[in-house]
């Protein structure tokens, strides 16, 4: 505004709930507005104006009725908030014109009416507030500048201030809520304008119009007294939604960090950094306020927590995020061969990226391989909305998912991809072996790197395609050594594990077949250990945080990959050559050795059946996108389609088995048809003893 010092509009409001120091803490609507103009140059005052406001919910607390003296009938006849604000503007403009003034500033007794009541309510009702409500002066802070010895600002109250400067109280006839407070503030303003204070109003506070995006460095100091944690956010909420929830409070630049879970999805939490402690304390008063139909919990947090989520060290990311006031969109599912020009062509002329290819950031693994994710900057909301309309459109042979994103999310995704190896070293385990669910006998654990992992297989590929892909190296595959990995919907995940006869053969395959084409895709081939392969096939999770053990809800269901499984030498020859699981089950054969017997199927000598298609559960790699439509569970279950170990009574003189006795086993089944009954399940397990 041109001149803040010419005119003040002393402003007051009350709600249908808590007032005073708790104004706005209960989300109740405004029901009363009172204002009066003060000409600072001529030291004159205008007409005292009072307006009732009709709330959407005509309910008043007993405390509000007592303090305001208003009834539901009076409010029913009043105008809604948007109409009253129009009357406010018209009234003030008319008086300013009569005084020969052109601009004004609001003057309030504390920031609550502006920051905690008016802006949040206008945001909830989608009202556009006039510009005058984005700047104001606090009469308490102005008084504190005149009389610094009067006490701390937060401890000052209007009655105490009036008593301190010897302003007499108003007569009882004038002590009506709203009128009393405005008259007292007007008297105080005129008092500190006169001798001996000769005060000039200069502490103008601002309310930010919108959230400013920006990057945060891990070396940047963050005051813990300015950070909060918001919990219970809708998963589809963006940083702009969070800024809207805290409307009226000033969030620091790049101060919203949406938290991601281990799978890269938003977990309903966010860390928010405000410009100072005062705004942080006001944010805490919004604990259990609502965002849509959900209430949001607000707690204190630390600067270290904020930096852990939002901080970054990559110069590439810092340069990417250095462009201010940009809208960030995340793209997922890009072909690994996609170039910047391919992405720009996909986005089209109606949604140009900022600075063309400089507005793109491709996410890569530490070795430089693309992940299929990218972030795009747009200079305005219109371009971003046009880009979001291309959600699930095709680029090459893949559909692309697009989502709104934030600067903090860019940092999180890049940090996780660049800092953690895809397969980490397995932790040593001191767990006591309790093999309730036995692994297939040919999956003996070990650290020898005699296996290879195929990644990026076409989803239509079968075992025969893998054998053709391996070519001359097929003869080095162990019997039943090909394991196709399926996701929890029973669909191919694009991964497979292959057991080779030796580590040298596995190394040779990884060298010769890496990035070799299968159909229209290149396949990555990596050498790995049997232990790592077994860990995944038995329900463990392979993600960017390394390997996670199979989930166990009961203590007895310890991850079998930690146990010492019987070696092939301990098993019958027939048990070593099983056809695909659950194909024509037969009655278990009698034990051929003193070791635990296994329910098995007699071998069938078709060559294609020497390689087993393992229908194991598998969790997709990190990260999946925020709010990506998916029904996938993130907890892989122990496979229910493996042979069950049954401890047989030992004959006299037999050597005890190294495996612990286990007379029964609990198996979890996933993916059952909805119409499956008990008979169907019993038929499924025909050939096994079911209790």
Express each pLDDT in 132-144 by its tens digit. Answer: 999 999 999 999 9
pLDDT at 289 over 50: yes
Higher pLDDT, 520 or 108: 108
As a whole number of angstroms, the distance between CA 296 and CA 344 comes to 38
- pLDDT given for residue 308 in this prediction: 86
Residue 438 pLDDT level (bands cut at 50, 70, 90): very low
Q: Which residues contact 416 (CB under 8 A, 6 or more apart)?
A: 264, 544, 545, 622, 623
- Residue 565's pLDDT band, with cuts at 50, 70 and 90, is very low
Q: How far apart are CA 675 and CA 682, in angstroms?
A: 14
Q: What is the CA radius of gyration of the chain?
A: 35
**What pLDDT, on a 0 to 100 scale, did the predictor assign at position 103?**
87
pLDDT over 60 (residue 570): no
Q: What are phi and psi of 330, to 5 degrees?
A: -100, 135
pLDDT at 267: 86
Higher pLDDT among residues 321 and 615, named by residue: 321
Reference 304, options 216, 240, 238, 237; nearest CA is 216
Higher pLDDT, 312 or 69: 69
The mean pLDDT of 614-634, rounded to a whole number, is 35
d(CA 545, CA 529): 18
Report pLDDT for 172.
Answer: 65
pLDDT bracket for residue 320 (50, 70, 90): confident
List the domains of the chain with CATH numbers: 7-206 (3.30.420.10), 216-312 (3.30.70.330), 315-418 (3.30.70.330), 451-543 (3.30.70.330)
Q: Is the pTM of this model over 0.85?
A: no
| Confidence check: pLDDT of 660 > 60 | no
d(CA 63, CA 68): 9
Query: Helix %, strand %, coil % for the chain, to 5?
Result: 30, 20, 50
Ranges 21-25, 156-160, 260-264: which has the least confidence: 260-264
For position 479, what pLDDT does the model report?
Answer: 83
In this predicted structure, the answer to whether residue 548 has a pLDDT above a threshold of 70 is no
Task: Give the tokens for residue 346.
Answer: 């996909």
3-class state of residue 69 by DSSP: coil
Among 28-32, 80-84, 116-120, 686-690, whose mean pLDDT is lowest? 686-690
Res. 568 pLDDT band, cuts 50 70 90:
very low
Q: Which two tokens stand for residue 4?
A: 């803040």
Confidence at residue 130, expressed as pLDDT on a 0 to 100 scale = 93
**What pLDDT does residue 135 have?**
95
76-103 burial: b if 16+ Cβ within 10 Å, else e:
eebeebeebbeebeebbeebbeebebee
**Residue 426 is encoded by which pair of tokens?**
């397995």
Whether the bond into 509 is cis, omega within 30 of 0: no
Q: Is pLDDT of 91 > 70? A: yes
Q: What is the pLDDT of residue 691?
A: 63
pLDDT bucket at 616, cuts 50 / 70 / 90: very low
Q: What is the mean pLDDT of residues 257-274?
A: 85
Distance CA 631, CA 201 (A): 59
pLDDT at 640 over 70: no
Mean pLDDT of 186-209: 91
Is the pLDDT at 430 greater than 70, yes or no? no
Task: Pick the closest to residue 555 from 689, 657, 690, 431 (CA basis).
Answer: 431
* Backbone phi, psi, residue 648, to 5°: -90, 150
Q: How confident is the model at residue 238 (pLDDT cuts 50, 70, 90)?
A: confident
Whole-angstrom Cα distance, residue 558 to residue 565? 13
Strand partners, 486: 492
Kindly report the three-state secondary structure assignment for every residue of 532-551. Answer: HHHHHHCCCEEECCEEECCC
Between CA 538 and CA 617 the distance in angstroms is 8
pLDDT in the model for residue 298:
97
DSSP character at residue 363? E
Higher pLDDT, 504 or 219: 504
* Mean pLDDT score of the chain: 78
What strands lie across the sheet with 327-332, from one edge to the other?
360-364, 370-378, 327-332, 398-404, 393-395
Peptide bond before residue 649 is cis, with ω within 30 degrees of 0: no
Q: Average the pLDDT over each of 139-148, 221-230, 261-270, 390-399 and give the range with the smallest value.
A: 261-270
Q: Which of 594, 545, 586 is nearest to 566 (CA)?
A: 594
pLDDT given at position 64: 92
What are phi and psi for residue 87, nearest 5 degrees?
-60, -40
Say if residues 525 and 469 touch (Cβ distance below 8 Å): no
CA pair distance 261, 259, nearest whole angstrom: 7
pLDDT digits (tens, 9 = 90+) for 465-483: 898 898 888 889 988 788 8
Report d(CA 259, CA 239) in Å as an integer: 11
Structure confidence by residue, pLDDT tens digits, 46-73 = 999 999 999 999 999 999 999 999 999 9
Helix (H) or strand (E) holding 378: strand 370-378
- Alpha-helical regions (H) of 22-111: 62-68, 72-76, 81-99
Confidence of residue 614 (pLDDT cuts 50, 70, 90): very low
Q: Would you state the structure tokens that stand for residue 239, as one six-digit string?
A: 């940083």
CA pseudo-torsion sign 489, 492, 494, 500: positive
Which of 17-31, 279-293, 309-323, 498-512 has the weakest average pLDDT? 309-323
H helix intervals, 484-569:
503-513, 530-537
Q: What angle do CA 342, 347, 350 make, to 5 degrees?
A: 140
Distances from the Cα of 447 to the Cαs of 97, 371, 527, 533, 543, in angstroms?
86, 28, 12, 10, 19
Say whether pLDDT at 348 is over 90.
Answer: yes
Residue 490 scores a pLDDT above 90: no
Q: Rounded CA gap, 469 and 344, in Å?
A: 34
pLDDT for residue 540 is more than 70: no
pLDDT at 435 over 60: no
What pLDDT score does 443 carry? 52
For 373-421, the pLDDT digits (tens) are: 999 999 998 999 999 999 999 998 899 999 888 888 888 888 777 664 4
Higher local confidence (pLDDT), 604 or 259? 259
The tokens for 280 are: 């942080």
Report how far residue 365's alpha carbon sits from residue 368's, in angstroms, rounded to the nearest whole number.
5
Q: 13 with 133: CB under 8 angstroms?
A: no
Distance CA 170, CA 183 (A): 9
pLDDT value, residue 306: 92
Best CA proximity match to 8, nearest among 41, 51, 57? 41
Tell me which of 153-162, 403-412, 510-519, 574-583 is least confident: 574-583
3-state class (DSSP) for residue 597: strand
């Amino acid at each position: 505004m041109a001149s803040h010092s010419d005119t003040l509009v002393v402003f007051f409001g009350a709600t249908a709930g808590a007032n005073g120091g708790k104004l706005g803490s209960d989300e109740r609507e405004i029901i009363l507005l009172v204002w009066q103009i003060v000409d600072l140059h001529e030291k004159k005052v205008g007409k005292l104006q009072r307006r009732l406001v009709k709330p959407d919910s005509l309910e008043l607390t007993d405390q509000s009725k007592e303090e305001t003296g208003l009834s539901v009938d009076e409010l029913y006849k009043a105008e809604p908030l948007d109409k009253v604000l129009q009357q406010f503007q018209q009234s003030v403009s008319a008086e300013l014109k009569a005084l020969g003034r052109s601009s004004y500033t609001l003057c309030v007794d504390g920031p609550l009416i502006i920051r905690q009541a008016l802006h949040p309510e206008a945001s909830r009702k989608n009202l556009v507030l006039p510009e005058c409500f984005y700047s104001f002066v606090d009469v308490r802070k102005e008084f504190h500048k005149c009389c610094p010895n009067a006490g701390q600002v937060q401890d000052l109250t209007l009655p105490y201030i009036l008593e301190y400067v010897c302003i007499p109280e108003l007569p009882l006839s004038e002590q009506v809520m709203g009128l009393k407070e405005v008259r007292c503030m007007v008297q105080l303003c005129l008092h500190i304008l006169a001798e001996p204070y000769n005060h000039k109003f200069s502490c103008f506070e601002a309310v930010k119009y919108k959230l400013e995006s920006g990057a945060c460095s891990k070396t940047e100091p963050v005051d813990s007294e300015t950070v909060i944690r918001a919990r219970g956010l809708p998963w589809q909420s963006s940083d702009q939604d969070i800024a809207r929830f805290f409307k009226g409070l000033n969030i620091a630049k790049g101060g919203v960090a949406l938290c991601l879970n281990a799978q890269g999805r938003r977990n309903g939490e966010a860390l928010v950094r405000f410009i100072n402690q005062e705004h942080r304390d006001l944010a805490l008063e919004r604990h259990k306020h609502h965002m849509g139909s959900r209430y949001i919990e607000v707690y204190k947090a630390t600067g270290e927590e904020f930096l852990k989520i939002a901080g970054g060290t990559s110069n590439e990311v810092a340069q990417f995020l250095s462009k201010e006031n940009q809208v960030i969109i995340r793209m997922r599912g890009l072909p690994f061969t996609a170039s910047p020009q391919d992405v720009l062509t996909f986005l089209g002329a109606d949604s140009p990226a900022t600075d063309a290819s400089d507005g793109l950031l491709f996410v890569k693994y530490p070795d430089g391989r693309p992940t299929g994710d990218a972030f795009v900057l747009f200079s305005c909301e219109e371009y971003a909305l046009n880009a979001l309309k291309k959600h699930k459109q095709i680029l090459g042979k893949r559909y692309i998912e697009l989502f709104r994103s934030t600067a903090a999310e860019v940092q999180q995704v890049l940090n996780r991809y660049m800092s953690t190896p895809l397969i980490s070293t397995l932790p040593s385990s001191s767990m006591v072996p309790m093999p309730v669910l036995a692994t297939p006998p040919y999956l003996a654990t070990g650290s020898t790197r005699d296996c290879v992992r195929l990644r990026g297989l076409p989803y239509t590929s079968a075992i025969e395609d893998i054998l053709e892909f391996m070519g001359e190296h097929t003869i080095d595959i162990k019997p039943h050594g090909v394991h196709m990995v399926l996701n929890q919907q029973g669909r191919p995940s694009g991964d497979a594990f292959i057991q080779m006869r030796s580590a040298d053969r596995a190394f040779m395959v990884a060298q010769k077949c890496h990035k070799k084409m299968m159909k229209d895709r290149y396949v990555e081939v990596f050498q790995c250990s049997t232990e790592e392969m077994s860990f995944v096939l038995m329900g463990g999770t392979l993600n960017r945080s390394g390997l996670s053990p199979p989930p166990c809800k009961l203590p007895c269901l310890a991850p079998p990959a930690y146990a010492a499984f019987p070696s092939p030498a301990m098993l019958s020859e027939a048990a070593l050559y099983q056809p695909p699981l659950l194909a024509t089950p037969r009655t278990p054969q009698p034990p051929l050795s003193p070791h635990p017997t296994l329910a098995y199927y007699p071998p069938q000598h078709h060559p294609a059946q020497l390689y087993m298609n393992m229908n194991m559960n598998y969790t997709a790699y990190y990260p999946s996108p925020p709010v990506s439509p998916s029904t996938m569970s993130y907890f892989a279950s122990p496979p229910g389609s493996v042979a069950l170990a049954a401890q047989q009574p030992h004959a006299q003189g037999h050597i005890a088995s190294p495996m612990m006795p286990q007379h029964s086993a609990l198996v979890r089944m996933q993916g059952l048809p909805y119409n499956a009954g008990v008979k169907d399940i019993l038929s499924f397990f025909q050939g096994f003893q079911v209790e």
